[in-house]
Amino acid sequence: MMIVPSPYYYPSTFCTVYDHIDDFDNENTSAKNNKITTTTTTASTTASTLVNHEKEYYLCPNCDVDDYDDCVCFLINHDDQQGKQQQQQQQGILTTTTTNPYYFKVEYLKRIPFRMTSNLWGKIANIKIPENFRKPIYMTYSKVFGVNVNEAERPVEEYESMADFFSRRLKEDARLIDLKHDLVSPVDGTVIYYGKVDNNSLEQVKGLTYSLEEFLGEKEMAKIKGKNLYHLGIYLSPGDYHGIHSPIDWSIQERYHFPGYLFPVAKVAVDNIPGLFALNERVVLSGQWKHGFFSLTPVGASNVGSIVMDFDKELSTNNPKDQSNIRKEKSEYYHKSYTSPISSLRGNEVAFFKMGSTVILVFEVPQDKQFDFTIKPGQHLKLGEPVGDLK
């Protein structure tokens, strides 16, 4: 297993603040040559502004002023500043300016210790419950969140802890796996979005996208650039079965673990936080199906940091040692190539959450084909139900 630096910057580090003009000059000698002046700011949440003639630039840590045309922070013309900001917000690119409402939403959430509370919740959920209290506790939970306990493979009294109950398996005949259609649902859950991947962007909700490269990683993106890709996102509620299964026959070749934040992934968060799924901790499983590239990615969330894979005991999610790493300008991710690709048949369990979260599929279809989804946003799916076919 390798630990490699990620080229991606979290939104809070897209732009930087220079408290003194000397700091700016020392780090950017070409600023003097280009006679670019700076306007320092007093608020720590705003970015230093570079003004050159009629254009305004935001300097990010990985860009030199000579490279601002290619800077991920983009240049903003004074005449079209509002339009550019709206475009960036829709793409999930956050600039640290007071006029960007998304910046403050994300920065506020970063100050909430979701990873700490998730670790604490994990410890509480693993506390053994006296047998006499199990049934009333689990039945109350099931009533609130709509759990069908009759589908569980064991009587509720046999689940020793809440974590044990959350990760319950189903009876063998509880789900029928469709074999007629090209793709089935990998989980029980609610459809968030689906569709064709355009401009290397994934749709989070209507009108709000985020970078496919940032989500899957630079290495995977290099393999699939220019291919005919589609994607599907499904949200698992606390009451859903938490198992994640193969939606097709495929081989799993690599695993990328991106430690990240554990923001909530409920609808209100998905609707308001751009790039949410690329910010949160996630495990990208990539491989091949009969039509080319295929990836399945469980995404963590608050109180749902634990993602477990029986075939990969090295995987450790929601690990306290990653807390400081996610705040670095360059984060690290964990990469593992499986010496022998893992063959997984449709319906086989791949992983499970300790509590509900989100699963995202990104897959390739032939260039002369398109994928016809037979589902709708907001539709609740059961594991194994068809979601569409190649046309």
CA distance 320 to 335: 19
Reply yes or no on whether 188 is catalytic.
yes
Helix (H, G, I), strand (E, B) or coil at 361: strand
CA distance 338 to 135: 41
Give me the catalytic one of 164, 182, 188, 312.
188
Instruction: Note the helical H segments in the chain.
Output: 21-27, 30-33, 81-90, 101-110, 114-125, 131-145, 162-166, 212-216, 218-224, 267-272, 276-279
Neighbours of 119 (CB within 10 A): 19
Burial of 170 (C-beta count, 10 Å sphere; 0-12/13-18/19+): middle
Strands of the 380-381 sheet, one edge to the other:
2-5, 332-344, 250-258, 282-289, 292-299, 358-364, 229-235, 189-196, 380-381
Neighbours of 22 (CB within 10 A): 9
Residue 354: phi, psi to the nearest 5? -80, -15
Identify the CA nearest to 236 among candidates 375, 365, 113, 380: 380
Cα Rg of the chain, angstroms: 23
CB proximity list for 143: less than 8 A, separation 6 or greater: none
Identify the CA nearest to 203 among candidates 387, 82, 360: 360
Residue pair 77/84 in contact (Cβ under 8 Å)? The answer is: yes
CA distance 368 to 134: 55
- Note every long-range contact of 52-55, with CB atoms under 8 Å and residues 24 or more positions apart, other chains counting: 54/78, 54/79
Give me the catalytic one of 211, 302, 344, 357.
357
Give me the catalytic one of 231, 245, 257, 335.
245
Which region, left, alpha or beta, applies to residue 92 given φ > 0 means left and ψ of -120 to 50 means alpha? left
- Residues identified as active-site: 188, 245, 357
